[in-house]
Structure 1
Amino acid sequence: MKDPYEVLGIKRGASKDEIKAAYRKLAKQYHPDMHVNNPLKELAQEKFIEVQQAYDELTNAGSNNNSYSSSSYSSNSNSYENSNNNEFQAARQYASVGNYKQAINILNSTKIRNAEWNYLMGVCYVNLGSTVQGLQFVKTANRMEPSNGEYANYLNQISNMQRAYQTNSYNYNRGGHSDCNCCANLILADCCCECMGGDLISCC
């Protein structure tokens, strides 16, 4: 991994506010939404992830920021795992702003297929409308880490919403009203948004 100070363009010993300011400036500059029709969008994406990784590295280090040196970023046995963790964080950030396809692209580029990978894939597919496929990913994540509250809660919420949707669809086909079907869809979408930090229906 590159020296995070160099990536963010700040000097060693920078304060937390300076680190945050540099991160926000670069994250905005390289955010994928700013390069949708840009032929260099893939390069911007790589830079965005690099900035995210650098910020995470420095903020996770806490008060030990000053202890970093250039040699700290040489290869080590944990570099592969850290790289994937940073990619998961980047995928979460893309998903939190509704860019689920980009999040899936990042997840597909990783080689680790752990519980978090399955959970994030599930969240993305559910929000893209592929609820059945998304549920399978989330169920896999829950099986791999049954004690993880985040995975279990999301699985329960989406499973309940899907059952409600199927029930309303059945009632509609028997002569019910489409309003129920519409409400179920809205509630499901709001539930998905809230799980990633958003809010589709502010009153819920």
Structure 2
Amino acid sequence: MTDPYKILGVTPTSTEDEINTAYRNLVKQYHPDKYVGNPLAELAAEKIKEINAAYDQIMNNRKQSTGQNQSYGYSDNNQNENSDFRKVRMLINSGRIIEAESLLNSIQVRDAQWHFLMGMVMKKKGWYDMAYQHFERAASQDPSNMEYRMARDNMGYSGMQYRNVGNMGGYNDSCCDGCQTLICADCCCEMCGGNLIPCIGCR
């Protein structure tokens, strides 16, 4: 395997925070969600595997002195993952969101991974507030999972942007707003001798 420090763009003297930051940036860059339907999807998936392996190797080496040895990286290919959850991921990645949601609803154990995957479903459906709530639950139930924390943080930022745009009228405009605009335009037109919206009696 290539030097894991080179893969992450860090050095053996880098702090854990620096390594975590480098890892997060690389996962954001090559995250599968960015390559759905893209011919580079397979290359991105391979890159994610390489990044995860490098991160795991570095972190496990640093934890050996305390007797800890675990997988830290993006868990898309986690061998210990529940088979139903693996199927849900496959359904989400293939765009079969309704099937993924149905399968999740049939699972009784609502652990951190369940909430993370349901958050992914909600995000795909455009229900950003609900997606954030599930990501928040996932991260709180398993705070050591980098994937869950990144999803929560990214969704929090994206959701804030969405709500800001909505508050400026991008998403909250009602049909009444459109009617009011037409009425105002008609009044202005009549003041100038025209008639934007002719009434029935004038025909």
TM-score using structure 2 length: 0.42
Q: Which has the larger radius of gyration?
A: 2
Which structure has more relative contact order (CA 8 Å, sep 6+)? It is: 1
> What is the TM-score of this pair, normalised by structure 1?
0.42
